[in-house]
Chain A
Amino acid sequence: MTTAADQSTAALELTSEFWKNAYRQMVRIRLFEGQVNELYTRALMPGLAHLYSGEEAIAVGICEALTNEDYITSTHRGHGHCLAKGAAPDRMFAELLGKEAGYCRGKGGSMHIADPATGNLGANAIVGGSMGIATGAAFAAKQLKNGRVAICFFGEGALGQGLFYEVVNIAQLWKLPVIFVCENNGYNEYTHFSETTAGEICDRAKAFNVLTETVDGQDVHAVYAVSKKLIDRARAGEGPAFLLANTYRYTGHHVGDINREYYRSKQEEQTWKTTRDPIQLHGAWLIDAKMATPEELVAIEEEVRAEMQVAVDFAVAAPYPGPEEVEMHVYA
């Protein structure tokens, strides 16, 4: 068991550049999602999107412990995972707007961003649907002996899917380098997870004798430390792991889920935002550790804000795919 003190000491051994970059990555996700909400409310974005705001420390803490060649699979709430793994905001916005310059040439949209160049096997709009793909990527990594690790991100709602139990069983039997990351943001869409989840979450993985850890998903240091340990272990051939990261979804199930009081209180949302915000917590830590000044953090935010504006402008101005695209890429 890694203690909080161990993590803090380990965190201080990394450079200020590393932690300032983690801060920047979290701010990028937050401001990206802010722009997505803006695009929705201005009716510039077709369809809907599921925002990752509030959960940034998980994607960033884990992806900072990965190499570019390692794999991730993501979910319908996937923007944060894609950005943390290295996706460029301009091509992501373009995809969200259905433009040809998007990661999927506009044919995937918000819930299907994929990018071989950064090991992103794809976000997935079937809850739990990517668990087989992530485990398969780990199987290929083991067969091909290329040393890669696969991270399977999913929400606590996906624990209701049978596929999870099938692939965790196989991953453990075959000692595959895959880490199942359960982001428990408290809500299966519009229903509190306590109404859908019998027993303890981690006991599910423990039943297969899979190494299980629980982490505060608002603490990027803790997430990084525990995931680094699990990733190193998987890379060394010691098998899969299950990581439960407790977190909170700041906004609705999707951008159109505005009136939420029938399933949770505004007070609850406020408490998380004011006392558990992962960006504020990490910013305070950087200042306290003298790794950054308040002015530097403001400057980072302003730089990211400008980056996002340029990216949005690029996407809004980008052309749609031509009609000849519609039948392309059905078959390779």
Chain B
Amino acid sequence: MNWREAKAVLEALIFASSEPVTIKEMSIITGLNEETVRTLLSEMAVEYNDQQRGIQIIEVAGGYQLVTKPEMAVYVEKLKKVPRQAPLSQAALETLAIIAYKQPITRAEIETIRGVRVESSLTTLLERGLIEETGRKEGPGRPILYGTTKEFLKYFGLKSLDELPVVDDWILNRQIEMDVTAD
């Protein structure tokens, strides 16, 4: 097949799938090597962007997905009543941030950092499929370890965990100097 045909096939695959499609899957189906698939996809992404289209190809959670462009959101949301899902609460976001950066991690370890019980935010995050149990820690009680899921990457539009926002490590580098007098 020529490259135009190949692009049409890739477009069809991504369109038909409800989940992001991986390069590997597309390579196996089309018989093209992974490098070629990657090149074609990046060309397609540019084409979608250049032309006045309402959709685009994005890379998310280790695969590729067709989505509407963000500037279309204002129209799309008028289309129908979309299922309302409340944004994550501050507490849930904090718990999730700790898990994302420090996984695998136990509940007790999260609670030490947040200084508060985190049972309810863990339940929320498990229910929404953003985290999962990844195993058990060796030691007394063998506590459950938690980690993030693929759904987590999709929900936040991340290609992989490497794409998590970088947080400044200033705390580790700064010398803690204390004034020893009471106020």
Asked if A and B bind, the verdict is no
